[in-house]
Structure 1
Amino acid sequence: GDMKAGIVQALFALETLRRSNVTTKKQIVFLWTSDEEIGSESSRKLIETEARRSDAVFVLEPSFGPRGLVKTARKGVGQAELMVRGRSSHAGLAPEEGINAVHELAAQLTRIEKWNDGRRGVSINADIVEGGTRSNVIAERARAVLDLRALRSPDMRRIERRLHALRPVHRGASLKVTGGFDRPPLERKRCRALFAHAKSLAKQMHLSLGECTAGGGSDGNFTGALAIPTLDGLGAVGDGAHSDHEYVLIHTMPARAALLAALLATC
């Protein structure tokens, strides 16, 4: 699935070229990393170094859905943390002396929720929320971790500016914001020509090849941001990524490997 089947297809694509005695015009580099799911912090420099030496990048992330759509655009992705500090007090004896950090956090999240814009591909979700210590104590601390996604770089920068410009709603509360976007968008203009070439090759092989925009990020976001032609989602066909019902359509793997071999031979 995500991503072992893609590696298998890559190995078979290489074997196909060898058995066919195809002499490629350019050096082919297979770069396999292990930290993409946790932000590519260790591998990003290596990925970008290899990308700068390359004329094209093929990303073997899974395709999208059972139709096997390749990904010609991806959202930029990031994470931010909101930390609120108030003042604790007894909830029954002296509630007026407290400053409720949970209430402050709730007010901020209500404000941030309105920034979501599906039409522009902007989504901000509070996926971890913590606060308070006991039910009879005014909460002194609260925090939320936000998932940030945007299709366009200007929207990405605008969200970061708005986050860091937030000010407390409740008097006496303090607010600290850390983090932001760490994976730029993969814009379709970086994929357009490669996709047209792949579609032409697929047609010659009697395959149908479609495209889509993906909400998740990949290491292709980094290479596309360097203006290197990048085509993502060339891996296995299937569905249910990251779930206990994730599956791969095994019968599609030979054709996907053949398509990759054709791309490597002609790009």
Structure 2
Amino acid sequence: MIADTRRLVETETPSSDHTAVAQGARDIVDLLNERIGAEPETIVIDGVTHVRVRFGALAPKVVLLTHQDTVWPRGTLDRIPFSAQNGLLRGPGVFDMLTGLVMSIHATSILAETGQNLEGLSILITGDEEVGSTTSSQLILEETAEAEAVLVLEAAAEGALKVARKGTSIYQVEVKGKAAHAGLEPEKGVNAGVALGMLLPQIAALAKPTLGTTVTPTVFSGGSTQNTVPDRGKVAVDVRAVTIAEQERVDQALHSLNSDVPGAAVTVHGGINRPPMPCSAAQDLFERAVSVADELGVDRPESAEVGGGSDGNFTAGAGIPTLDGMGAAGDGAHAEHEHVIIAQIPPRTALLAGMIRSVLGGSE
């Protein structure tokens, strides 16, 4: 499993590089064939490559939901090479979530080797989760529509299974002004930077911490040259909320923004991306996971409610039973210290295999 994880990590598959994601998909197809003898299909939507393998002709009863894209640009391996030392796996994407992807393949292989009937199992590996699943969200909902269990192989800090996630919304707030020479006639310009700066406190004030709602301006850009009044400025805004009502409140407020700077025009792009994942969608599956862990003699999993979103938000939001955080245990998603605890890979893979067997039915 460590060798297979290294194989995927060293391919490097940043979400924005569709060619790299396509190469990653080819590697995954080969790996599925080698480990399970499966014949996966690749599905290309708006240039993004996804991989799906179904066992049997019936609608999936259990869906293992994974993604192979990462937040790390190509070349990160030069700085953070893959390693398996001191009990930890390291490398770009090893925690989020390439080890989990490998776990899904090996859990399925374990079941196949023990004679488990895999009819009704599906593994879906998407290529754009880290950028909002804009091309894969409908595919995810179609694949899981009749599922009794969606098991999401996102990683888990300290190993806790995710039973609830906040909903996510993604925005770009743009301000258009008017350029002018900053030295000769700045009064003839409309400073988009000043206008944008005045909007930032309004945007941040939309947060309601007591309700779990965060509204965070993140990436800024604007202007052209040092001696020109900036005619454009923009900021990305990240929104997390526990309820749809809060997502809708912030959405309406952001799309109603106006500038007090004369001549400045505000345009807001984006909206609600993922609905919240409520505890109700995970409760029965979490209780099943505790029971399976007891049967296998591995540590009982803890549960956690988190702010980060995943593709499990889509399925849980649609009322489909979903348990998240079934992947690797470790820490450092999207961070320099990203790592996986090697000793936790076998028991967590066993737990995943046990969950699949429990839902599909069959001998222990």
TM-score greater than 0.5 by the shorter chain = yes
User: 1:168-227: per-residue Cα shift (whole Å, max 9, x none)?
Assistant: 212222111111122222111111111111122223324131111222211111111110
Using the TM superposition, give the Cα deviation of residue 105 of structure 1 relative to its aligned residue in structure 2, in angstroms: 0.5
Q: 127, 144, 161: which one pairs with 1:51?
A: 144
The 3-state SS of whatever aligns with 2:153 is coil
Partner amino acid, structure 1, of 2:272: F
The 3-state SS of whatever aligns with 1:178 is strand
Deviates more, 1:198-207 or 1:48-57: 198-207
Residue 107 of structure 2 corresponds to residue 16 of structure 1: no
In structure 2, what is the equivalent of residue 150 of structure 1? 241
> Taking structure 1 as reference, are residues 253 and 163 closer, same or farther at Cα in structure 2, changes over 3 Å only?
same
The 3-state SS of whatever aligns with 2:216 is strand
TM-score, scaled relative to structure 1:
0.91
| In structure 1, C-alpha distance between the alignment counterparts of 2:267 and 2:298, rounded to whole Å | 56
| In structure 2, C-alpha distance between the alignment counterparts of 1:195 and 1:80, rounded to whole Å | 33
In structure 2, what is the equivalent of residue 221 of structure 1? 313
| In structure 2, C-alpha distance between the alignment counterparts of 1:10 and 1:136, rounded to whole Å | 55
Using the TM superposition, give the Cα deviation of residue 132 of structure 1 relative to its aligned residue in structure 2, in angstroms: 2.3
- What pairs up with 1:157-172 in 2 under 5 angstroms? 157-172=248-263
Residue 141 of structure 2 corresponds to residue 37 of structure 1: no
Partner amino acid, structure 2, of 1:60: L
Does the 8 Å CA contact 1:68/1:209 hold for their aligned counterparts? yes
Using the TM superposition, give the Cα deviation of residue 232 of structure 1 relative to its aligned residue in structure 2, in angstroms: 0.4
- What pairs up with 1:1-267 in 2 under 5 angstroms? 1-23=95-117, 27-63=120-156, 65=157, 67-204=158-295, 205-267=297-359
User: 1:66-102: per-residue Cα shift (whole Å, max 9, x none)?
Assistant: x201111112223211111223334445444432211
Using the TM superposition, give the Cα deviation of residue 5 of structure 1 relative to its aligned residue in structure 2, in angstroms: 1.2
TM-score, scaled relative to structure 2:
0.68
The 3-state SS of whatever aligns with 2:125 is coil
Q: Which runs of 5+ in 2 are unaligned?
A: 1-94, 360-364
| In structure 2, C-alpha distance between the alignment counterparts of 1:153 and 1:141, rounded to whole Å | 32
| In structure 2, C-alpha distance between the alignment counterparts of 1:168 and 1:177, rounded to whole Å | 12
> Taking structure 1 as reference, are residues 7 and 130 closer, same or farther at Cα in structure 2, changes over 3 Å only?
closer
Partner amino acid, structure 2, of 1:55: E
Deviates more, 1:189-198 or 1:223-232: 189-198
Does the 8 Å CA contact 1:84/1:176 hold for their aligned counterparts? yes
Does the 8 Å CA contact 2:298/2:347 hold for their aligned counterparts? no
| In structure 2, C-alpha distance between the alignment counterparts of 1:68 and 1:112, rounded to whole Å | 35
Length, aligned pairs only: 264
| In structure 1, C-alpha distance between the alignment counterparts of 2:136 and 2:201, rounded to whole Å | 36
Using the TM superposition, give the Cα deviation of residue 126 of structure 1 relative to its aligned residue in structure 2, in angstroms: 1.8
Partner amino acid, structure 2, of 1:121: G
User: 1:7-32: per-residue Cα shift (whole Å, max 9, x none)?
Assistant: 222222223323333446x6111112
Does the 8 Å CA contact 1:75/1:186 hold for their aligned counterparts? yes
Does the 8 Å CA contact 2:169/2:247 hold for their aligned counterparts? no
Using the TM superposition, give the Cα deviation of residue 38 of structure 1 relative to its aligned residue in structure 2, in angstroms: 2.2
- Bigger fraction of residues in strand: 2
User: 1:217-258: per-residue Cα shift (whole Å, max 9, x none)?
Assistant: 111111111100000000011111222321111111111111
- What percent identity do the matched residue pairs reach? 38
| In structure 2, C-alpha distance between the alignment counterparts of 1:128 and 1:8, rounded to whole Å | 33
Q: Of the two structures, which has the highest relative contact order with CA contacts closer than 8 Å and spacing of 6 or more?
A: 1
| In structure 2, C-alpha distance between the alignment counterparts of 1:135 and 1:30, rounded to whole Å | 52
Deviates more, 1:14-23 or 1:155-164: 14-23
The 3-state SS of whatever aligns with 2:288 is helix
Does the 8 Å CA contact 1:191/1:229 hold for their aligned counterparts? yes
Partner amino acid, structure 2, of 1:62: A
